[in-house]
Amino acid sequence: MNIKKLQNICVEISKLKQQLVEELPHSSNQALYFQNNEITTGIINDRTEIKMHLISGQILYFSDEKGDFIDLEKDNISEKLQSIAKDHKLELSDSKLENPTSDEMKSFLQYAELAVKILENFRMKMQAKNFTRVHLWPHHFDFSVE
């Protein structure tokens, strides 16, 4: 499964999230989440969410009831993400993001659904009081519960 293209996009989405969220324990301000067939930042400050829907092949930057979309298979992802960042007074480095194929997105989707299901089952059986949600870490592109 080639996931490097998806991983690189997630790293950039995480960089945007880090500018919108204060520093959190366990570096949770860098983490993304997987739910409903999408990789998401979760809702930030009750106003912003960035998500990549793996079935529709779209990125949505949603803030203050306004949405900006990126087509993962057709658009120049780097240019579009830079434009969205600029519109929202955020900064991104000039990285060259490649378009993932629908097969790559579907392959990761199958893996993510199973991995999150297993980790959520584990999380629900924990006896500890302190633990995190199931995180997707962009830099290693793996899931964990801290």
Tens-place pLDDT, residues 130-139: 888 899 999 9
What percentage of the chain exceeds 70 in pLDDT? 98
What percentage of the chain exceeds 90 in pLDDT? 81
Average pLDDT for residues 90-107, to the nearest whole number?
Answer: 94
99 pLDDT above the threshold of 80: yes
Q: Which residues of 71-104 are buried (b: 16+ CB within 10 A; e: fewer)?
A: ebeeeebbebbbebbeebebebeeeebebbeeeb
Whether the model clears a pTM of 0.85, i.e. scores above it, the answer is: yes
User: Which of the 8 DSSP states describes residue 97?
Assistant: P
12 pLDDT above the threshold of 80: yes
Contacting residues for 25 by C-beta, under 8 A, at least 6 apart: none
Q: What is the residue-averaged pLDDT of the chain? A: 93
pLDDT for 131 = 81
Residue with the bigger pLDDT between 58 and 27: it is 58
1 pLDDT above the threshold of 70: no
User: Which residues are 44's β-sheet partners?
Assistant: 48
Average pLDDT for residues 10-23, to the nearest whole number?
Answer: 94
